[in-house]
């Protein structure tokens, strides 16, 4: 059964790569999120005070372009995403701190099957400080 599921996943990925198109499920999800903004709120049960927890913004193609995390005192972190115009995959993320200053920049490389290969982490000055390599291991 595991081999069958693994084979099905591999075939599905191969078909997606061969067609260089997004799956119908992904396209349907994105269609529902076009130009959407989602606000998540928290409420203190004792004081009944309310504050925003998360704000997520999607573009006209339904891709996440910004996510902001808050606490009671304001912004904790903000992440903006940039996409490759051909593959529609995230190629760059900028992470900002509570003062809205960039703290790190992430750039991504992908394998032929669409899985992440490498993540390059840069300081705001542009200096590379770490590289994360993704390894995919399937158990049989």
Whole-prediction pTM: 0.76
In this structure, what token pair is assigned to residue 6?
Answer: 């693994």
pLDDT on residue 21: 60
Domain ranges across the chain: 2-133
CB 38 within 8 A of CB 55: yes
C-alpha angle 34/38/40, rounded to 5°?
165
pLDDT at 16: 42
Q: What's the pLDDT score for residue 46?
A: 86
Mean pLDDT by 10 residues, the chain (140 residues): 40 40 80 91 86 95 96 94 94 97 97 94 96 94
pLDDT at 27: 81
């Amino acid at each position: 059964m595991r081999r069958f599921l693994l084979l099905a996943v591999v075939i599905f990925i191969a078909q997606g790569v061969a067609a260089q198109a997004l799956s119908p499920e992904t396209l349907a999800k994105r269609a529902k999120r076009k130009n959407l903004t989602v606000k998540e709120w928290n409420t203190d049960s004792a004081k009944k005070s309310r504050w925003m927890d998360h704000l997520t913004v999607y573009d006209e193609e339904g891709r996440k372009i910004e996510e902001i995390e808050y606490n009671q005192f304001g912004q904790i972190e903000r992440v903006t995403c940039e996409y490759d115009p051909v593959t529609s995959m995230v190629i760059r993320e900028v992470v900002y701190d509570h003062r809205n200053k960039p703290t790190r920049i992430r750039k991504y490389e992908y394998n032929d099957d669409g899985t992440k290969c490498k993540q390059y982490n840069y300081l705001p000055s542009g200096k590379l400080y770490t590289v994360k390599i993704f390894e995919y291991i399937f158990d049989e």
